[in-house]
Amino acid sequence: MFQSYPALSCTRKATSRAGIPPQKLVEAHGTFATATCTVCRGSFTWEQLQGDVMEGKVPHCSSCSGVIKPDIVFFGEQLPRKFYQYLIDFPLADLLIILGTSLEVEPFASLSEMVRNSVPRILINQDLVGSLTRNPLRSKDVVELGDVVRGVKRLSDLLGWTDQVNQLLSRE
C-alpha cells in the first residue's frame, strides 16, 4: 500500500492547491501566510499586513504597538517541532524528490542522505547540490538540471500527468 509522507515546504498556498493536507505539510522555513506580534504574541494573517508591507512599512500590532513578524524561520531560529517529528519518515521512504534548493545549511543539507541507498532520489534543480554532487551518483538517482518548472513539467509528462498538471496550472 502506498504511504504518503509529509512534504517539506515553505509555501502553504502552493501545497494546499496541490492537494497536500495540512497534517502532511511541514513548513520547515515557516510561512508568510501568518504573522505574530513580537510583544503580545497576537496572531495575524497576510491579508491584515499586506497593506503595510506593500507600502514598505513595518507592521505594528493594533493592541500593543509591537512589531509584527511573519511566521518565517530566520537563520539561527529554531525550526518548527513538526520538522523533527517527521525526520523518522526518511528511512521509510520509497522515493525522495528534491526541488529548488542549495542543500547548504543543516539540517537540510543532510536530508538527502537519510533515505536508504536503494531509494531513488530525483533532483530537479538549477545546480547539483549536496551529496548529489559526488561521482558516481547512487545507481537509482535521477538528475534534471535547469529550470525547475520545466523539470517538473518533464517529470509530469513522463508519469502521464500532463493533463492534470496543465489543468492545475491553468487554474492558477
Active site residues: 29
Contact 100, 148 (CB under 8 A): yes
- Angstrom CA distances, 80 to 38, 50, 67, 96, 108, stand at 17, 24, 21, 21, 13
In the chain, the DSSP E strands lie at 7-8, 25-26, 30-37, 43-45, 68-72, 96-99, 121-125, 142-145
Alpha helices, H only, 55-147: 81-85
CA gap 52, 57 in Å, rounded: 5
